[in-house]
Homo-oligomer: A and B are copies of this chain.
Amino acid sequence: MKLYSYFRSSAAYRVRIALNLKGLPHEIVPVHLLKGGGEQRTRDYLARNPAGLVPTLQEDDDWSLGQSLAIIEYLDEQYPGIALLPGDARGRARVRSIAQTIACDIHPLNNLRVLQYLKHTLAVGDQARDAWYRHWVGQGLAVIESLLARDSATGRFCHGETPGLADICLVPQVFNARRLSCMLEGLPTILRIEQACMELSAFQQAAPSAQIDAEN
């Protein structure tokens, strides 16, 4: 299978971690989001993913799928290896809720296309744009910290003793937060879990700096 990916996309980063955790052989196809107006806007790419966003998963029979969380759940249902979601309905619900707090409440507001709209269409200056970014990250990670710290289901990882969907979303979000110099004080549970994740090669090898299309 192939994963259309951009090294810095945190949605692609999520799927890279999932592929590694499941131990699934795959080819990374880089899609440069900035070069030449964005390779995600070419006719070929849009035929595969009409949203013009990364990532896209392509199976060997050419079936394609967009949306990182849908891709991860598909990989988990379709392939053997460690389970990325818990075995019980309430556990799955909790993990999905944490993942969606990142994927629906934080990340969409800080996506490249949104930052570009703020800059080019609304003429928002760099400083106000960084404040926007940090506002949503700060608010969102405080919610995640609260969800994690108050619940005995939290273990070495977001849910118990094995990494799964929630960790897969958390690590790229913390990476982004660091890149934009967001405050990470007051988030001890998040930082502890991030550290546990980053000890695993599945997470290390999915990092932006480890990608074939990595840039400084």
Binding site for B on A (CB under 8 A): 50-53, 63, 65-67, 69-71, 73-74, 77-78, 89-90, 92-94, 96-97, 100-101, 103-105, 107-109, 114, 117-118, 121-122, 124, 128, 131-132, 135, 143, 146-147, 150
Contacts and interface: CB of A to CB of B under 8 A. Distances in A.
Contact of A108 (B51, B97, B109, B131): B109
Contacts of A93: 65, 70-71, 73-74
A66 B97 contact: yes
A117 B136 CA distance: 10
The prevalent SS among residues of A at the interface is helix
Number of copies of this kind of chain in the complex? 2
A43 to B, nearest CB: 13
5 contacts: A50-B147, A63-B90, A70-B96, A71-B97, A73-B92
A94 B49 CA distance: 12
Nearest to A103: B104
A111 to B, nearest CB: 8
A90 B132 CA distance: 37
Contacts of A104: 67, 69, 103-104, 107-108
Given A121-B128, A121-B135, 17 more contacts: A52-B143, A63-B90, A67-B100, A69-B96, A69-B100, A70-B94, A71-B93, A74-B89, A77-B89, A78-B89, A104-B107, A105-B108, A108-B108, A109-B114, A118-B122, A121-B132, A122-B132
A52, A73, A150, most chain B CB atoms within 10 A: A73
